[in-house]
Every structure is written in structure tokens, then in C-alpha cells.
Amino acid sequence: MGLGMEFVEGSGFAAGRQGIFVTDGFNDIPRSAQRASEIGQLIADVAVAIAEYDRRIEQIATEVHPEVARLKQVKGVGTLIALTYVLTLDDPQRFRRSRDAGCFLGLRPGRRNSGQSEPQLHISKEGDRYLRTLMVQGAHYILGPFGQDSDLRRWGLKLAERGGKNAKKRAVVAVARKLAVLLHKLWVSGEVYEPLRNNHEVESAVA
């Protein structure tokens, strides 16, 4: 009931009378408390629904699209992002180069030449809007406090340190674009993801 009351069948109340009793009792509760109870129940219902959808998404990824596991090697890319990426692009062979995946999602900024400067324009925002939003969310995680140390994170943080009020925003979009490219490479190659691959190559060359 949500009010700490439970009515047992055959307890002496007629069915109709039970309804009146419950309604009258509920109306005696302050409206603010009623609303809090209703909102609490809605939140609980939504949480249950989300858990069920998460279970279904995991099942689809495991049973129908095992390639999703390749993309999830990148910390910050969960099942939802990886599965949406696979379903949206559909066929990884549609792109001759992995870098085209970033353009396909509208994450590549344009440039306008003006004398000696080349100011960066806004991204095209072409392609699937939902997937583009998920890629940006993934980029936020990668650059955030819980992001795994990786070549991509280091590159993005350096980009954000260049200054300017929009530096962080540009860094997030740039990382989202590189993330789209990285996921395509992992999808096509099936290779094991090495977060600090570029850094290790540099260290090996210096040694």
C-alpha cells in the first residue's frame, strides 16, 4: 500500500468499505507527504524498468552482437554506447578509413581560412544525433576524474590546457571524434586495446 497498512482478505472489512477506509486515510495525510510517496513510488518503478532494459541490452550484446566486447575494452565505453555504435554503423566495412567514422557522426569541425589564421568552426552535427551524444558522454568520462590513463586521455587533457573559454568543450568533442575512430579500428581489427600504446612505442624507441 505504501502507507504501512495491509488489509487481509476476510479481516472483517467488506471490499467496498476497505476502499473507503484506505481513501479516507490517505486523504488525512498532508498533501506534501502524499506527493513524496507518489514520487518515491515512481522513482522505484523507473529504477526497476531501467534495470530490466539494462538486462535486455546486455543479453542482446552477448547473444547477437559479440563484437560489442571489442569496443568495451575502452574504459568509458559501456554496453549501451558500444551496442548503439555497432547497430548505427551496421557494417564496419562501409568506411575505407577508420577516421571516416568521426565524420559520419558529425564530429569533425570545419575550418574557415582568414589570413594567417584558421579558426575552428562548429562541428557539422551530421549523422545519428543519439550516437553522437553517447560518444560525447564517453569522452566526458575519459577526460573526467575516473578516466583511465591512456593516450587518448593524455591527448585530450593537453588539448584542454591550451586555454580559452571553449578549450575544454573543444577537447571533449575532439576526444569524442577520436573515440569514434578508435572504436572502428578495434571493431575491424579485433585487436586487444592498449591504452598507452603510443607512449610505450615512444619509450621503446628512446631506450
pLDDT in tens, 50-109: 999 999 999 999 999 999 999 999 999 999 999 999 999 999 999 999 999 988 898 876
Residue 176 has pLDDT above 80, yes or no: yes
Of the two residues 207 and 125, the one the predictor is more confident about is 125
Residue 20 has pLDDT above 60, yes or no: no
Where does residue 106 rank: exposed (0-12), middle (13-18), buried (19+ CB within 10 A)?
middle
Look at 149 and 38; give whichever has higher pLDDT: 149
pTM flag (> 0.75): no
186 within 8 A of 70, measured Cβ to Cβ:
yes
SS3 113: coil
CA distance 141 to 143: 5
